């Protein structure tokens, strides 16, 4: 297959995207796009799975190292192809436009739009702990209808939360329509605020008498002792939570065309950002383990709030504010970066032409931003975003592995192509990431299959997440074929006109 037209518009294009972001903003986009609610919410679930504080810390460390290996692989590709679109461009060059389209289609249909809806929802949910939100309308609260394979749609349940979440999506979308520089400033503020809150919690634990207990780091659970295959399953499940908290480091590659020095700053921001996040996660995970015995952590729905409450009265409300800042910043990062993928796909002739237009004054992909915002709002009000994004965890990691594999493909196919940054310890760094990803996919699929069989045996509704996720991504195949056929027809018509 042909690679397709370039996504970089000519320099004289009045509607092009402008390179305005520097290394600091790029690093904050990486860190701010990764740190959402995961580090505040997931440790309790993970502790209940592994039952050991030391194993819990090891899981966070392994997830951080693997994420760094993935970031290093992405950094080489980003230095080769620093244009707008990121992983979509990498996959297109390595595997052809069909694979790249399916990746972009998955982002637009569910992965990134669902993430925006989920992050905005968590922001509004925690806002409800700080100030009261409108209650559900009695007459409509019970209204629902069934969507096969997805579940019951309840648009009027939790109306107050959804209204605030929807307002956040609209506001952040408009900010990013006005300019990437403004969106970057907003991102910097949110990123610094959330990281400051994380470090403040760590300091409170360390300097509040009686809170930090070294013995908690070595005391295993009294009831949770997975062994044999159950141990591996528990580690895989905990890794899934950790990887969910680390997810998002690759999104900076989507806006390569808007960095001042993309070939230099894309690799640097990827590496600096993921190292910063990994350090913060290890610090906070250790702080949680110092403050709470593992069994108390396993019983906690929001570990950070329980730890803060031990340090200062009303600490749970302070953590609610921290989660609000964190999720709002992460939502802004997703909104800012992801629209650039659809912009690039449109300029390749694979999505409606309107999505490939940049605003003549603000130089932003305003049409892609607005379309992304509308679909995120639809997923938010349907209440299906959590179900849909859960089904695509498997697919997301499939594309991560394919992206690391692209390093091998392009090293072999294009050995002389300029590579301002090369993966250290090649081929071992990308190979370890690919191997770990494959093992992780096998363990995740095994857990998914076991849960599916259990649900079927108990007569409950069941979805095989991996299969459903791939079906959702492959649903974009007819759209790809239609756009490719239309492009060929237009090219043939143009050739016939020229010959006349």
**How do residues 290-341 score in pLDDT, each as one tens digit?**
999 999 999 887 888 889 988 888 888 888 888 888 899 989 999 999 999 9
pLDDT tops 60 at residue 12: no
pLDDT band at 3 (very low <50, low <70, confident <90, very high): very low
Query: Which residue is listed with tokens 């990994």?
Result: 278
pLDDT tops 70 at residue 385: no
What are the tens digits of pLDDT across the range 102-147? 999 999 988 889 889 888 988 998 888 788 877 766 666 666 665 5
What are the tens digits of pLDDT across the range 33-81? 888 888 888 888 899 998 899 999 999 999 999 999 999 999 999 989 9
- The end-to-end CA distance of the chain, in Å, is 29
pLDDT band at 2 (very low <50, low <70, confident <90, very high): very low
Q: At what angle do helices 315-347 and 112-130 cross, to 10 degrees?
A: 160
pLDDT tops 50 at residue 8: no
Cβ contacts of residue 453 below 8 Å, gap of 6+? none
pLDDT tops 80 at residue 387: no
Q: Give dist(CA 142, CA 266) in Å, integer.
A: 48
pLDDT at res. 110: 84
pLDDT band at 7 (very low <50, low <70, confident <90, very high): very low
b/e string for 2-18 if b means 16 or more Cβ within 10 A? Answer: eebeebbbeeeeebbbe
pLDDT at res. 370: 95
Q: What is this structure's pTM?
A: 0.86
In terms of pLDDT, which residue wins out, 387 or 167? 167
Cβ contacts of residue 286 below 8 Å, gap of 6+? 57, 217
What is the DSSP secondary structure assignment for residue 84, as one 8-state letter?
B
What are the tens digits of pLDDT across the range 30-39? 998 888 888 8
Q: How many CA atoms lie within 13 A of 263 on its CB side?
A: 7
pLDDT tops 90 at residue 450: no
pLDDT at res. 65: 93
Selection from 229-238, 290-299, 440-449 with the highest mean pLDDT? 290-299
pLDDT at res. 469: 79
Percent of the chain with pLDDT strictly greater than 90: 34
pLDDT at res. 54: 92
pLDDT at res. 405: 95
Q: Are 334 and 321 in contact (CB under 8 A)?
A: no
pLDDT tops 60 at residue 482: yes
pLDDT at res. 486: 82
pLDDT tops 50 at residue 444: yes
Q: Give dist(CA 125, CA 140) in Å, integer.
A: 20
* Mean pLDDT across the chain: 85
User: Exposed (0-12), middle (13-18) or buried (19+): which is 215, by Cβ within 10 Å?
Assistant: exposed
pLDDT tops 50 at residue 479: yes
Of 6-20, 174-188, 213-227, 299-313, minimum mean pLDDT range: 6-20
Cα 211 versus chain centre, distance: 33
In sign, the C-alpha dihedral spanning 21, 23, 29, 32 is negative
pLDDT band at 499 (very low <50, low <70, confident <90, very high): low
pLDDT tops 90 at residue 100: yes
Number of CB atoms found within 10 A of residue 182's CB: 17
pLDDT tops 50 at residue 11: no
Both tokens assigned to 1:
């297959």
Percent of the chain with pLDDT strictly greater than 70: 88
Q: Are 183 and 21 in contact (CB under 8 A)?
A: no
Q: Give dist(CA 371, CA 385) in Å, integer.
A: 17
CATH of domain 23-489: 1.20.1740.10
């Amino acid at each position: 297959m042909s690679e397709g037209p370039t996504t970089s518009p000519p320099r004289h294009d009045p509607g092009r995207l402008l390179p305005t972001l520097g290394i600091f903003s790029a690093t904050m986009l990486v860190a701010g796009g990764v740190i959402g609610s995961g580090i505040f919410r997931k440790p309790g679930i993970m502790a209940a799975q592994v039952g050991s504080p030391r194993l819990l810390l090891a899981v966070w460390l392994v997830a951080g190292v693997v994420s760094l290996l993935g970031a290093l692989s992405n950094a080489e590709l980003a230095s080769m192809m620093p244009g707008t679109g990121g992983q979509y461009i990498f996959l297109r060059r390595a595997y052809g436009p069909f694979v790249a389209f399916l990746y972009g289609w998955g982002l637009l249909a569910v992965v990134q739009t669902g993430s925006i809806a989920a992050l905005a929802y968590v922001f509004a949910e925690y806002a409800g702990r700080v100030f009261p939100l409108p209650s559900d309308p009695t007459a409509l609260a019970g209204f629902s209808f069934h969507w096969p394979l997805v579940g019951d749609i309840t648009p009027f349940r939790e109306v107050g939360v959804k209204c605030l979440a929807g307002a956040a999506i609209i506001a952040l979308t408009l900010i990013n329509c006005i300019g990437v520089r403004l969106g970057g400033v907003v991102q910097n503020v949110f990123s610094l605020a959330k990281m400051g809150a994380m470090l403040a919690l760590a300091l409170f634990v360390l300097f509040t008498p009686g809170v930090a207990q070294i013995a908690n780091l070595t005391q295993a659970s009294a009831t949770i002792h997975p062994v044999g295959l159950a141990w591996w399953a528990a580690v895989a499940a905990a890794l899934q939570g950790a990887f969910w908290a680390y997810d998002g480091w690759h999104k900076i590659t989507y806006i390569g065309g808007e960095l001042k020095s993309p070939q230099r700053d894309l690799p640097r921001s990827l590496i600096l950002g993921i190292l910063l996040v990994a350090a913060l996660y290890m610090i906070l995970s250790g702080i949680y383990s110092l403050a709470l015995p593992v069994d108390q952590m396993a019983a906690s729905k929001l570990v950070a709030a329980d730890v803060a409450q031990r340090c200062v009265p009303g600490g749970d409300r302070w953590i609610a504010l921290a989660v609000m800042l964190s999720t709002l910043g992460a939502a802004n990062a997703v909104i800012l970066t992801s629209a650039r993928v659809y912009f690039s796909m449109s300029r390749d002739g694979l999505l409606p032409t309107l999505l490939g237009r940049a605003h003549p004054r603000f130089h932003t992909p305003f049409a892609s931003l607005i379309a992304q915002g509308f679909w995120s709002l639809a997923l938010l009000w349907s209440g299906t975003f959590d179900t849909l994004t859960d089904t695509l965890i498997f697919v997301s990691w499939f594309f991560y592995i394919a992206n690391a594999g692209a390093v091998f493909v392009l090293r072999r196919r294009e050995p002389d192509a300029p590579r301002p940054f090369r993966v250290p310890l090649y081929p071992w760094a990308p190979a370890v990431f690919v191997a770990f990803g494959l093992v992780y996919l096998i363990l995740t699929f095994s857990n998914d299959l076991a849960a599916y069989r259990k649900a079927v045996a108990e007569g409950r509704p069941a979805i095989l997440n991996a299969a459903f996720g791939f079906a959702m991504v492959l649903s974009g195949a007819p759209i790809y074929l239609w756009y490719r056929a239309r492009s060929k027809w237009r090219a043939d018509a143009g050739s016939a006109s020229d010959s006349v």
